Amino acid sequence: MTGLAPRIGPEIAALLADPATLGELVREHGSPVNIVLPDVFAANVTAFGATLDARDVPHRICFAHKANQARAFVDTALRTGIGIDVASGGELAQALRAGFPPGRIEATGPKGETFLEKLCAYGGLTVNVDNLWELETIARLAPARVPVLLRLSAGRRLSRFGLAPADFPAAFEVVAGSERLDLAGIAFHLDTADLAERVAAVTVALELVENAYAHGLSPKVIDVGGGFRQVHLDDPDGADAYVQRLREGLAGQGPSLAWGGYTFGYRVGRDGAVRGTPVFHRYTGAEPGTTMLGDLLDATLGDGRTVAESVRENLLELWIEPGKALVDQAGITVATVQFTRRAADGSLLVVLDLSRDMVTPADQELMVDPVLIHNGQPDEGCEAFLAGNLCLERDMISNHLVRLPRLPQPGDLMVFVNTAAYQMDLSASGALMHPRPPKVAATRRGGVFQWRADGGDTCSTSTSAS
Ligand SMILES: Cc1ncc(COP(=O)(O)O)c(C=O)c1O
């Protein structure tokens, strides 16, 4: 046991329990392949909506499209009545193609003049403005009134995004002085699970709403961004113990679990101490994103009211922009074992037909064990490093030892679970002319899986009853 066993939601569990269907799907679409599960996305939307409804908070949920490029998720976001957060011309085009009315689209992220001009052309589309230059550019370019959110640079860590609180008076002046700008509200986004930081940001945002009234403006929205977590691992304590063993190995106080001297971003001192921040984020959160949102809504502000009460009583609307939490448990990446081999130091390498960048943002070590789908009986198992198919030394899918229930055989499938958030898309490239894995959207009806190429019309149905 490595302690890195994945948390497997019911829909993914049903797919893994049906190797015949997985095999059919891979035969039809090739390997590697990304499978996305729009019904899981829809259930996540319902759970977020229920968390807000339970506290009677007027709200809008915007799916942060950047988490995954699948059209199936965009279609499901449209069908479930939520909004969409787009951060590029490509994402905007896909949202419009899917049928999103501009009034349900919000644009975030850094925007150049060309993108801003395009955004301003769609009446009712909300621009989440990152800086004064964007604000002034919209005021200059917009053919008609544009609803804008002003993004606050919040959180303890320095951020390249947003306006400092001290910049807001100038921003309010620009809005108040322009007929093309309509202040919809104040926004922020934090990349942390820290509740206190988020509550502090809400406090500042509410103060800025008050300040905006003093400038004759009437904002109606507080947008708390995304950052709601996923649950990746089944046993957070076991994972912490694995990381501890990994560190002991680096310090020479235990067996090495690392490939070829890799240090995972840690610095190993001459004194044997292991310091620094590793190149994997904390996969070990045990709370789903909806719990994080509930905790935020129930948190008490300085005046004794909860965040939910403040939003309601100030007649505001709360917007959220979840990316990863809406695609939690809504996708897997399937690859095929090509062969196994021994490296010169005796390490076992399992070589797959996908590259590291197709399953993790390439700078991040993937600290979640894959699931091996095989035809044989489990044997005593093995510990191996997973190697990718690029002709590059750095193309190791795991630089840490992975425990497998059996020595993999060529043709076995290796399934990476819960990869829909950023892992499938963010870094995937066509390096060395390997094609990017296709996406297939799968749904289960009456216990039987059906699938179609993402965005395609032709539907296949599993011939294996599950
Ligand atoms: C402005 C903004 N909103 C929402 C998100 C989505 O974040 P997450 O996927 O962590 O929910 C991001 C991610 O970078 C972001 O920058």
Question: Is-contact 155 147, C-beta < 8 A?
Answer: no
- Closest-lying ligand 1 atom to the alpha carbon of residue 321: 4
Q: Write the residue with the smallest CA distance to atom 13 of ligand 1.
A: 226
328 close to ligand 1 (CB < 6 Angstrom): no
State the alpha helices, DSSP H only, in 371-466. none
Q: Is 67 in the pocket of ligand 1 (CB under 6 A)?
A: yes
Provide the CB-side half-sphere exposure for 341 (13 A, CA).
8
pLDDT of residue 236: 83
The neighbour count for residue 28, using CB atoms within 10 Å, is: 13
Looking at residue 363, what is its pLDDT?
81
Whole-number Å distance, alpha carbon 43 to ligand 1 midpoint, is 20
Give 64 Cα–ligand 1 centroid separation in angstroms.
6
Pocket test for ligand 1, best of 86, 189, 221, 292 (most atoms within 8 A of CB): 189
User: What six digits make up the tokens of 253?
Assistant: 């106080």
The pLDDT assigned to 465 comes to 61
What pairing do the DSSP bridges indicate for beta strands 382-387 and 402-404? antiparallel
Q: What is the C-alpha to C-alpha distance for residues 312 and 303, in angstroms, rounded to an integer?
A: 14
Rounded Cα gap, residues 338 and 354, in angstroms:
10
pLDDT in tens, the chain (466 residues): 578 999 999 999 999 999 999 999 999 999 999 999 999 999 999 999 999 999 999 999 999 999 999 999 999 999 999 999 999 999 999 999 999 999 999 999 999 999 999 999 999 999 999 999 999 999 999 999 999 999 999 999 999 999 999 999 999 999 999 999 999 999 999 989 999 999 999 999 999 999 999 999 999 999 999 999 999 999 888 888 999 999 999 999 999 999 999 999 999 998 889 999 998 876 667 789 999 999 999 999 999 999 999 999 999 999 999 999 999 999 999 999 999 999 999 999 999 999 999 999 868 999 999 999 998 887 889 999 999 999 999 999 999 999 999 999 999 999 999 999 999 998 888 888 999 999 999 999 999 999 999 999 999 999 986 4
Ligand 1 atom closest to the Cα of residue 151 is 1
- Peptide bond before 32: cis, by omega within 30 degrees of 0? yes
Which ligand 1 atom sits closest to the C-alpha of 322? 11
pTM of model > 0.85: yes
Please provide residue 397's backbone torsions phi and psi, each rounded to the nearest 5 degrees. -75, -35
**Spatial distance between the Cα atoms of 23 and 336, rounded to a whole number of angstroms:** 10
Pocket test for ligand 1, best of 44, 62, 66 (most atoms within 8 A of CB): 66
CATH top-level class of 10-37+329-461: mainly beta
Residue nearest to atom 7 of ligand 1 (CA): 226
Q: Is the distance from the beta carbon of residue 310 to the nearest atom of ligand 1 less than 6 Å?
A: no
Q: Is 68 in the pocket of ligand 1 (CB under 6 A)?
A: no
- Assign domain 38-229+285-320 to a CATH class: alpha beta
Q: Is the CB of 129 under 6 A from ligand 1?
A: no
Q: Which atom of ligand 1 is nearest to the CA of 324?
A: 9
The domain locations on the chain are 10-37+329-461, 38-229+285-320, 236-275
